[in-house]
Amino acid sequence: MKEKNNIEQFDNLFKQQLENAIVQPPVGLFEAMSSSIGSAAAVAKVSLLNKLFVGAILVSGTAIISYYLVNDIKKIATKENIALKITNINSDEQPANNDIVLSEPQLKSINKKEIGNLVKSAKPKAIVNEPTTKKVFNDNKSESVEEKNSINNYTINTNDLPKSNEEGQILTPKVDSEIVEQLEPAHVKAIDSSYIFIPNAVTPNGDGLNDEYLIDIKGEDRVQIIIFDKNLNRLFETKNKSIAWQCTLPNGEIAPNGDYIVKVIYTFKNKDQQIKTVKLKLIK
């Protein structure tokens, strides 16, 4: 009991001395922030600046988007080209020469691997650091033994094949090697932009802070948010991540203090679902 009193005394001392303490702030603070509090005089300038700024963002944004779009289209186009070229070679040219027929499985396997690499490099989120098998297509005659071995892993033993110089020339039209060179993936960095933060408290008291309940979600995946009260009555439901719950009951009144349940159903792009349930505290 005595200890409790001591503690109370201790806390009280701080409370008495500091609750209404006064510390003079450094000078010039108000002037430094006057542009951000929207003084009537500053508003005109700010809004003009904002317009300019937003304009600049829009312009640069569209530039960036169109750049990526063009790039993507290029990628897709070249990818299809290659696929077409490869099928052409397979179907038309091979019967003409016995040597090539021998190497058909080899060619196919290379194609598969090559396409695999292309597909990988086309995915925005993947990290592609492997070297391409560009050299296989290369008509350069000095292929190293290692590379040949790696081909062997896929299909047939090159020892049984005629020396690869001849095939190499026949099998690889120059166009292909150029395309492959273009598509050689640069180091694509993985940026996982998905992010979710589910707050566990909301205070609809009109002080401008946490007056509405908004779950912070970034990412392209689909999401469904449902809010229940203690008796599991549905109070709010949305599939739009930018809509906040205004802490109202179905009849329009502001919800009373207490605990609520937030259920977030998160559907990933690959249709996987993750459900998260959080207790929400409402304090006015």
Partner 1 sequence: MVNVNADNYSSIITECIDRQPKAQKKLFEILAPKMYAICVRYAKDSDDAKDLIQDGFIRLFKNIDKFENRGSFEGWAKRIFINTCIEYYRKQQKEQLKVEIENTPEFSIDSNALSLLKAADLMLIIQKLPMGYRTVFNLFAIEGYSHEEIAAQLGISINTSKSQLFKARQHLQEIILKQELQ
List residues binding partner 1 (CB under 8 A): 3, 6-7, 9-11, 13-15, 17-26, 29-30, 32-34, 36-43, 200-201, 206-210, 281, 283
User: Which CB, 23 or 145, lies closer to partner 1?
Assistant: 23
Residue 253 CB, shortest distance to partner 1, in Å, is 17
Structure token digits, residue 207:
């002080």
User: What is the helix, strand, coil percentage profile of the chain, to 5?
Assistant: 50, 15, 35
CB of 205 to partner 1, least distance (A): 9
* Cα-only R_g, the chain: 33
For partner 1, give the closer residue by CB, 41 or 186. 41
Nearer to partner 1 (CB atom), residue 7 or residue 58: 7
Inter-residue contact 262 to 230 (CB < 8 Å): no
Q: Which is nearer to partner 1, 26 or 250 (CB)?
A: 26
Whole-number Å distance between alpha carbons of 80 and 73: 11
- Cβ–Cβ under 8 Å, residues 229 and 260: yes
Which one, 100 or 282, has the nearer CB to partner 1?
282
CB of 197 to partner 1, least distance (A): 10
**DSSP helix/strand/coil, 35:** coil
Place of tokens 């449902």: 226
Of 248 and 267, nearer to partner 1 (C-beta) is 248
Helices 104-122 and 174-183: crossing angle, nearest 10°? Answer: 30
State the minimum distance, in angstroms, from the CB of residue 14 to partner 1.
5
How far is Cα 242 from Cα 175, in angstroms, rounded to an integer?
49
* Closest approach of partner 1 to the CB of residue 208, in Å: 3
Phi/psi zone of residue 151: left (φ > 0), alpha (ψ -120 to 50 degrees), beta?
A: alpha
Minimum gap (Å) between residue 20 Cβ and partner 1: 7
The minimum distance between CB 182 and partner 1, in angstroms, equals 42
Of residues 38 and 162, the one with the C-beta less far from partner 1: 38
Report the alpha-carbon distance of residue 159 to residue 195 in Å, rounded.
53
Contact 263, 273 (CB under 8 A): no
